[in-house]
Structure 1
Amino acid sequence: MNHDRSRELYDRALSVLAGGVNSSVRATRPYPFFVERGDGAHVVDADGNRYVDYAMGYGPLLYGHDPPESVQSAVQRYASQGPMYGAPTEVEVEHAEFVARHVPSVEMLRFVNSGTEATVSAVRLARGYTGRDKVVVMRGGYHGAQESTLVEARGDSTDTHPSSPGIPESFADHTIAVPFNDAEAVTEVFAEHGDDIAAVLTEPILGNTAIVRPVDGFHETLRDLCDEYGSLLVFDEVITGFRVGGLQCAQGKFGVTPDLTTFGKIIGGGFPVGAVGGRAEIVEQFTPSGDVFQSGTFSGHPVTMAAGHEYLTYAAENDVYDHVNRLGEKLRSGITDIVEEQAPEYTVVGTDSMFKTVFTREAPETFEDHCEAGCEQRESCPRYDHCPKTGADVGAADTERWERVFWQEMKERGVFLTANQFEAQFVSYAHTDEDVEKTLEAYKETL
């Protein structure tokens, strides 16, 4: 493939954009390809190269790059009527009603402008509602670029420190990081700090550290501890919302109902969005009905609300989840077969329309009775002791090989994957069986 035009654009970008990009994950080596346009399940770059796209905007594009006609019509209609008003519109009420009708935890919402803004607001709300300061998060979890959760623990300790320059140590003093899937560790934390913990904030599935599913009983333990100590359980469903578990989201799939849920990505139909939803008595603590300040110029933007509402309405009335989940399973099953033959130490992960291959370093002695379409954290599986259960497990994989070799080779074969070992990948309604077969052939050649 020729990438001359992308190289030229990146050279220009380095002069005017920090690192040449506007989001750090886009800075692929040696330079990113620049997208000119999307086409269904594909993107075409500035040099005319065409790729099967599994980044899907890092999750928002449930329908790929050609959303249903009803979505496009709604976007055009609302954009033509005026960009925004600084006043409420009917469509934001309709969108909130739809979400509250389908998601188990949601009685009331506040729309914001990004997943980061949603988690920032949820943490502030939890602290304001409980009158407590401490927040428990999962190591390897990601909740956006906010000071309260950009923390890291040293060794096995819960002693947390900022994970980025520019964050005062005092922010990390109120955040406790525990390993995902470690019920014993989080129980010990509550035994020591329970009366000071405002909330546990977790992704139902670690989605920015490959795709790590919960072991049986882990989320139930979090729910029980929060109930016992009067803390709030907050699910960050920015990635999993309306992708895992269909319209009920991951909380419906796992059967655990949080007190608050944060949303982003799909809920905005491909436009910038975030939301905080949950029990009415909690969400009503936001101003103006309560005292916890939250506000935003672009919150509930009519074009975003229209796109998001039509996105979800179309999914409710058509076979969207049947299609994407079937293709997701086909991809994971096919990659599992390839891995078993060519790289048995690797682990295929994912669920519904999400998938990833983690370059783990150890394999079991047998593959008999293994999970056939992505790790399910099933104790009877011979891979159970080898598959990733925490963010650290994913970090210990051969992450450099993914970024420096595998991603590059897949790109040259016309398959656009997320750029590192950690970010999840997605199937869209626009993908076809032919796309999956092409992708599996590329995996076979590359691995």
Structure 2
Amino acid sequence: MSPGTILDSKPKTQLNYFSTKLPQAQTHARLNIALATAHQRYTTANPTSSRLHVEATSHLPGGNTRSVLHASPFPLYITSGTGNTLLDADGHHYLDLVGDMTAGLFGHSQLKIQMTLVKTISSVGLNLGATTSTESQFAAVIKERVKCIEQLRFCNSGTEANLYALIIAKIHTRRRKVLVFKGAYHGGVLGFAAGVAVNNVDRDEWLIGKYNDVAGLRELITQHKGELAAVLVEGMMGAGGGIPGSAEFLHAIQDECRFNSIIFILDEVMTFRLAPSGLQSTILHPITHQPLSPDLTTLGKNIAGGIGIGAFGGRADLMAVYDPRTSPVPHSGTFNNNSLAMACGLVALPQIYTPSACLELNALGDELRARLNEVGAGTKMKVTGLGAVNTVHFVPNPAAEIRSVEDLEVDYGGFEEALRGLFYFWAIEKGYWVATRGLISLILGTTREEVEGFVEVVREFVEEYRDALRV
């Protein structure tokens, strides 16, 4: 089977609820009817997933152990993946356009990674509980790619990487507060989607600024420079909506941090994949044209070919906080240097996600974003992002620039939210795996023909619901 499998379950004739221009109230009502109809088709087409979800709720809160994967009325249960395709429990195939929220860059069955895993299991062993030469070799590979990293350490996730980087900053500066930005996501316990520290007990230690607001940034640092240990920021907001940081904003952070002896931490957990040396290498100072050079950089998600991983590194004097020869500060973690992640990282970056492969994939992503914005021109649909990581939005005024999550917050009566849900069901029904929040993250090996197929599906969506989508 191929993308489009589920389409066969859709009635051959479907009432177009938006064939004529209607007042907004009527359009909204018909939009809700269309969404309810899509819900029903989804439920009818996926009885096995529905049953598995009910069973899972007996063992897991909400039947779920990773909140971002939940979907209403129930998530689809995936049984296997090959390359950039997925198979669900009801036998439907999908082109994977999520790539495990950017972590699945290498797909589900990359041959070199498979061979590395088998070889490591059979000839090295699993968790050896000892130092190995592989970890220093992998560290050297990362240093070669990310030039501002002088030394680094491994951990188990991007969440951990950011937590450890913050500990370094607080120890080094002897300050407690950290400046982050509304909408940021720095890991499972470091989310700021609603402008508050989600899942973090010590909320008083956070200052929350507005992304891409240079004046606001400088004002906050001026007011709190004696308290601030670090500024932690993504070069592009990932979970916050695929919003790129401007060069002026990100270099202002770097300059203000240097001037005020604050540690500048750049979260590249998601964005490292956007350029051969990470996104930081592409963000040039408006005057000097120098790239960013953060004090600390955090990594994770895809650097080990799909095995769970995290890393944090930067200036050697800062990383010395965790040097056991001279510092009492511990950095432990049973699986920090596990055999599988270290071995796969040594293959994934130098042999598979080479600079040329990186540039090619991200060029395809830029092309996809441009095509989707062409398709949605004059409607509420707008796509933001960089390279192969993008997000589909539905906004009241698509002509306005999206520079922060505040620009995504206007939702008149849930109108745009309903469109987002309808788009999700439309894509799933046509055989394209997208995130409920609109995230698109291309997997290595995705072809231009596959991208074109998705563009055509989106074009059909826009035509079907044009009256609801019109500004």
SS at match of 1:429: coil
The 2-side partners of 1:19 and 1:399 are apart by 25
Residue of structure 1 in register with 2:148 after alignment: 105
437, 448, 451: which is aligned to 1:436? Answer: 451
SS at match of 1:266: coil
The one-letter code of the counterpart of 1:393 is: D
The 2-side partners of 1:310 and 1:294 are apart by 26
What is the CA distance between 1:287 and its match in structure 2?
A: 4.8
- Equivalent positions of 1:23-422 (< 5 A) are 23-67=66-110, 69-80=111-122, 81-146=124-189, 150=192, 153=195, 161-164=196-199, 167-168=200-201, 171-241=202-272, 243-246=273-276, 248-254=277-283, 255-289=291-325, 290-315=327-352, 317=354, 319-340=356-377, 343-364=378-399, 386-396=400-410, 400-421=417-438
**TM-score w.r.t. length of structure 1:** 0.87
The gaps in structure 2 that reach 5 residues or longer are 1-5, 7-44, 284-290, 463-471
SS at match of 1:12: helix
The 1-side partners of 2:193 and 2:183 are apart by 10
The 2-side partners of 1:146 and 1:285 are apart by 23
What is the CA distance between 1:191 and its match in structure 2?
A: 1.0
**TM-score w.r.t. length of structure 2:** 0.83
The 2-side partners of 1:89 and 1:120 are apart by 25
The one-letter code of the counterpart of 2:403 is: K
What is the CA distance between 1:31 and its match in structure 2?
A: 0.6
The 2-side partners of 1:152 and 1:47 are apart by 36
The 2-side partners of 1:50 and 1:339 are apart by 26
The 1-side partners of 2:194 and 2:331 are apart by 27
413, 427, 446: which is aligned to 2:442? Answer: 427
The 1-side partners of 2:167 and 2:119 are apart by 35
1:162 and 1:97, CA in 2 relative to 1: closer, same or farther beyond 3 A?
A: closer
SS at match of 1:262: strand
SS at match of 1:142: coil
The one-letter code of the counterpart of 2:274 is: V
What is the CA distance between 1:358 and its match in structure 2?
A: 1.5
The gaps in structure 1 that reach 5 residues or longer are 154-160, 365-385
Give per-residue Cα distances to partners, 1:42-96, cap 9 Å, x unaligned: 11111110111111111122222221x3322211111223211111112111110
1:322 and 1:188, CA in 2 relative to 1: closer, same or farther beyond 3 A?
A: closer
Give per-residue Cα distances to partners, 1:324-373, cap 9 Å, x unaligned: 12321221121111101xx5333221211112222121144xxxxxxxxx
The one-letter code of the counterpart of 1:296 is: G
The 2-side partners of 1:349 and 1:162 are apart by 25
SS at match of 1:285: helix
The 2-side partners of 1:18 and 1:53 are apart by 26
1:325 and 1:163, CA in 2 relative to 1: closer, same or farther beyond 3 A?
A: closer
Q: Say whether the 8 Å CA contact 1:120–1:146 is kept in structure 2.
A: no
Q: Say whether the 8 Å CA contact 1:118–1:263 is kept in structure 2.
A: yes
Q: Say whether the 8 Å CA contact 2:183–2:192 is kept in structure 1.
A: no
Q: Say whether the 8 Å CA contact 2:98–2:441 is kept in structure 1.
A: yes
SS at match of 1:83: coil
What is the CA distance between 1:146 and its match in structure 2?
A: 2.3
Q: Say whether the 8 Å CA contact 2:181–2:192 is kept in structure 1.
A: no
SS at match of 1:327: helix
Q: What is the root-mean-square deviation of aligned Cα atoms in Å?
A: 1.8
Q: Which has the larger radius of gyration?
A: 2
Aligned residues: 407
SS at match of 1:195: coil
The 1-side partners of 2:102 and 2:117 are apart by 19
The 2-side partners of 1:269 and 1:349 are apart by 26
